[in-house]
Amino acid sequence: MIVSIQGDHIRLDQLLKLASIVDSGGMAKYLITEGYVSINRELVNQRGKKVYKGDLVEVYIPEEEVRTRIKVE
C-alpha cells in the first residue's frame, strides 16, 4: 500500500490511522508498544516516532493474522 503525506514527515500513530490500519489511537498505541510495527525493518515502540517520505512501515495485526506494508510518499 502506498500512502501520500503532506510535508516531509508524519507521526507513526497518525500514519496508521491515515492508512486505515487502525480506527483509534488506542489501537495504534497497542500495536506499536507491543512490537508489531517496524520502520525500515527496525522495530519501533514510540507512537510519536516520525515517519518520513521513502520509509517502509510494516504492521502485523495479531488478531487478524495480517501483515501490511506501507510505503510513505
Cα maximum dimension of the chain: 33
**What are the structural domains of the chain?**
2-72 (3.10.290.10)
pLDDT at 63: 85
Helices (H), the chain: 12-18, 25-33
Give per-residue pLDDT as tens, 23-72: 999 999 999 999 999 999 999 999 899 999 999 999 999 888 989 999 99
pLDDT at 8: 94
